[in-house]
């Protein structure tokens, strides 16, 4: 019997790779819902090919445009907005929700999917950064599976299979180092958005690519790993690995280190989550080990990349601070891409917002959403001043 998928974030890089896998294995997967933001032309092409029951876009204007692009006779109902996304996540008959929306927008649909008893393939790390305690509590209460799609967290998950959790000593979370790993800090003020969007190894969306350039992406992944695998920040070590062949590793108390390797392509991690515990025949190339010659590892430079330090600071503070970190980062990255602030001002905006926040502990989802909204307003105010 085929597994029915609801794909949130269908037109992004993860969404498109997911649909490539679905098309490669039509005997295993079917698509019941596709949700996107505003890329209605691409979404219309996806709907024509996969014929989902439901499609969702950001607003009424884009919903009307999507309906104009679709031929008659398709079985697809078009909805829009927050309610539409949550309906796609909770759609009856769906077996697994692929959470690939960008940013905080993925939180409420993920919670709706869990409440409806759906298994989750999670690529939206911000969901756990903002509300890890709430989300993981609901995952446990509903008895659903939450499987990681981020390549690093998939690698950790794979490196834990077959081993006793009590034997875990440390998680080694790898990072490529981004496009500015060897660039002098004195020149960071001249970095333009086009420079930051040139990732050396991975093909990703613009927001996550900028986050990789600042190392904030790795900070967010630290927080995600804590919730996914029940470890502390002290048990996570970030290791810069420029070749992006070792996707992450787990160290055990006997000194053994087990890692997962592969070419830098997200389809492997996506397929593992979709088909777990099976492995699909993806026909992915193996790393060219003899051509690479050597795998290198470095300590991250938090002096040049303070966003990583800010993530650890937010974890240390706890409560709603991680939600504030995420919201301030989203606003600062958007401002940088719109050329309102410079590259080095991204961490300054985030740090200033964090410093002004009155933390709430044991927060419920309303507290978290309120903290997110406050942080966005405060970041917008700071950006306007800059």
Pairing verdict, β 96-99 and 246-252: unpaired
The CB-side HSE value for 16 (13 A sphere, CA atoms) comes to 12
Per-residue pLDDT at 202: 62
328-365 per-residue burial string, b: 16 or more CB within 10 A, e: under 16: bbbbbbbbbbeeebbbbbbbebbbbbbeebebeeebee
Q: pLDDT digit string (tens) for 155-209?
A: 999 999 999 999 999 999 999 999 999 999 999 999 999 999 887 776 677 898 9
Average the pLDDT over 351-367 and give the result. 97
Give the contacts of 83 (CB within 8 A, at least 6 positions apart): none
Q: pLDDT digit string (tens) for 327-340?
A: 999 999 999 999 99
Per-residue pLDDT at 337: 95
Per-residue pLDDT at 14: 95
> Distance of CA 171 to CAs 131, 221, 261, Å?
21, 12, 15
HEC profile of the chain: CCEEEEEECCCCHHHHHHHHHHHHCCCCEEEEEEECCCCHHHHHHHHHHHCCCEEEECCHHHHHHHHHHCCCCCCCEEEEHHHHHHHHHCCCCCCEEEECCCHHHHHHHHHHHHHCCCEEEECCCHHHHHHHHHHHHHHHHHCCCEEECCHHHHHHHHHHCCCCHHHEEEEEEEECCCCCCCCCHHHHHHCCHHHHCCCCCCCCCHHHHHHHHHCHHHHHHHHHHHHHHCCCHHHEEEEECCCCCEEEEEEECCCCEEEEECCCCCHHHHHHHHHCCCCCCCCCCCCCHHHHCCCCCECCCCCCCHHHHHHHHHHHHCCCHHHHHHHHHHHHHHHHHCCCCCCCHHHHHHHHHHHHCCCCCCCCHHHHHHHHHHHHHHHHHHHHHC
C-beta of residue 270 within 8 angstroms of C-beta of residue 14: yes
The CB-side HSE value for 44 (13 A sphere, CA atoms) comes to 15
Mean pLDDT of the chain: 96
**Residue 39's pLDDT band (boundaries 50, 70, 90)?**
very high
Domains in the chain: boundaries: 3-148, 150-177+215-300
Q: pLDDT digit string (tens) for 64-75?
A: 999 999 998 899
Give the contacts of 122 (CB within 8 A, at least 6 positions apart): 99, 110, 128, 146, 147, 148, 149, 273
Q: pLDDT digit string (tens) for 224-246?
A: 999 999 999 999 999 999 999 99
Per-residue pLDDT at 278: 96
Domain 3-148: CATH superfamily is NAD(P)-binding Rossmann-like Domain (3.40.50.720)
């Amino acid at each position: 019997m085929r597994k029915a998928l609801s794909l949130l974030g269908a037109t992004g890089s993860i969404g498109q790779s997911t649909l490539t896998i679905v098309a490669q294995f039509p005997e295993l997967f079917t698509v019941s819902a596709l949700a996107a933001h505003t890329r209605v032309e691409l979404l219309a092409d996806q709907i024509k090919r996969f014929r989902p029951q439901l499609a969702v876009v950001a607003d009424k204007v884009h919903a009307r445009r999507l309906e104009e692009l679709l031929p008659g006779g398709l079985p697809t109902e078009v909805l829009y907005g927050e309610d539409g996304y949550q309906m796609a996540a909770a759609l009856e008959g769906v077996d697994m929700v692929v959470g690939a929306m960008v940013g905080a927008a993925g939180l409420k649909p993920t919670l709706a999917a869990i409440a409806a008893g759906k298994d989750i393939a999670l690529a939206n790390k911000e969901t756990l950064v903002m509300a890890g305690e709430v989300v993981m509590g609901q995952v446990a209460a509903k008895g659903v599976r939450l499987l990681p799609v981020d390549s690093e967290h998939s690698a950790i998950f794979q490196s834990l299979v077959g081993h006793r959790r009590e034997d875990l000593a440390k998680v080694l979370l790898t990072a490529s180092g981004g496009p500015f790993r060897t660039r002098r800090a004195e020149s960071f003020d001249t970095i333009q958005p086009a420079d930051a969007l040139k990732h050396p190894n991975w093909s990703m969306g613009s927001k996550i690519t900028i986050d990789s350039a600042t190392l904030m992406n790795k900070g967010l992944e630290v927080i995600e790993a804590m919730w996914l695998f029940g470890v502390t920040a002290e048990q996570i070590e970030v290791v810069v690995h420029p070749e992006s062949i070792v996707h992450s590793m787990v160290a055990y108390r006997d000194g053994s280190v087990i890692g997962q390797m592969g070419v830098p392509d997200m389809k492997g991690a996506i397929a593992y989550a979709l088909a777990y515990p099976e492995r699909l025949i993806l026909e992915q190339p193996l790393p060219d080990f003899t051509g690479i010659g050597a795998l290198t590892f470095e300590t991250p430079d938090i002096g040049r990349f303070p966003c990583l330090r800010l993530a650890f600071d937010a974890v240390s503070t706890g409560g709603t601070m991680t939600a504030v970190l995420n919201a301030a980062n989203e606003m600062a990255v958007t401002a940088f891409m719109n050329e309102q602030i410079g590259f080095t001002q991204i961490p300054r905006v985030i740090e200033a917002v964090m410093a002004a926040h009155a933390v709430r502990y044991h927060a419920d989802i309303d507290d978290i959403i309120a903290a997110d909204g406050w942080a966005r307003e405060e970041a917008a105010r700071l950006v306007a001043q800059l």
